[in-house]
Amino acid sequence: MTTQQWFDERHDYAGSSIGFRVTQRLHAEQTPFQNIEIWDSTDWGKLMVIDSCMMVTTRDNFFYHEMMSHPALFTHPRARRVVIIGGGDCGTLREVLKHDEVESAVQVEIDERVTRLAEQYFPELCESNNDPRAQLLFIDGIKWMAECEPESLDIVIVDSTDPIGPAEGLFNETFYRSCLKALRHGGILVQQSESPLAHLPLLKDIRKAMKGAGFQAMRTLTFPQPCYPTGWWSATLARKGVDLSDFRERGAEMKQFATQYYNAEIHKAALAMPEFLKAALED
């Protein structure tokens, strides 16, 4: 905090920072896993900050939650069983359960306090927590995936924090092998893959690890995310045995639920890759 009442997050590795004008800190606690703060802001609603890094704002979270869920769900022909690793703010869970074909959505979050604070300060993100198709587990997602029944899932969404602390083990080949084993043929893994501008080496490592784990097809979709470093973020999709170039475009056009960002045209646009990223990522 500065004397001007701003919350600032500095990114030394990128030589940049982002700030939000705030009015008060509503909550702060150290859990067994991380430090969590909730702030009230003048223009962005509530802010959730974990270990001094911005996680969620009321105003712009829809970019991330929609792009972490709908591209995969409209690419899979009929995703009946979805698992979210992390995702404690429950926004991705809410978006997944907008799809009627989903019969089961399991959220595996290691830190229960993230979810309980989201229920208190971001209730709009948690409106599907009591859906009968939802199951909230507060356990180690890495261990859960390693023990998951083979070929029992259609989509795995890794909605994690940065690859430090509790999330460090969610970005390596060993974890991706567990995901591959748990997915049915045609199943899709979605990994939040950081900023293409600020974290390109990490993004390359993610794709290398996915390929090493045995995934045959990968696509990195980019989208705006104002509250994250550089304001430009990505989700990398990997598929078991099937290409990722096509999606159910008609289904996306005729979707029976509201979104703020995602639609069929956005999906098509996100499949296009900027020249520098194409040169860096394509074999």
- Cβ-in-10-Å burial (0-12, 13-18, 19+) of 58 comes to middle
Whether 246 is catalytic: no
Name 19's Cβ contacts closer than 8 Å, sequence gap at least 6. 6, 7, 8, 9
Say how far apart CA 215 and CA 125 lie, in whole Å.
Answer: 31
Paired strand residues for 106 = 83, 135
- List 159, 162, 243, 246, catalytic entry: 159
Say how far apart CA 30 and CA 32 lie, in whole Å.
Answer: 7
The alpha carbon of residue 271 and the mean position of all alpha carbons in its chain are separated, in whole angstroms, by 17
Cα angle 102-106-107, degrees, rounded to a multiple of 5: 125
Query: Got the DSSP string for 229-257?
Result: GGGEEEEEEEESSS-SS---HHHHHT-SS
Say how far apart CA 259 and CA 251 lie, in whole Å.
Answer: 14
Cα angle 118-65-137, degrees, rounded to a multiple of 5: 50
Say how far apart CA 106 and CA 93 lie, in whole Å.
Answer: 8
Residues carrying an active site annotation:
159
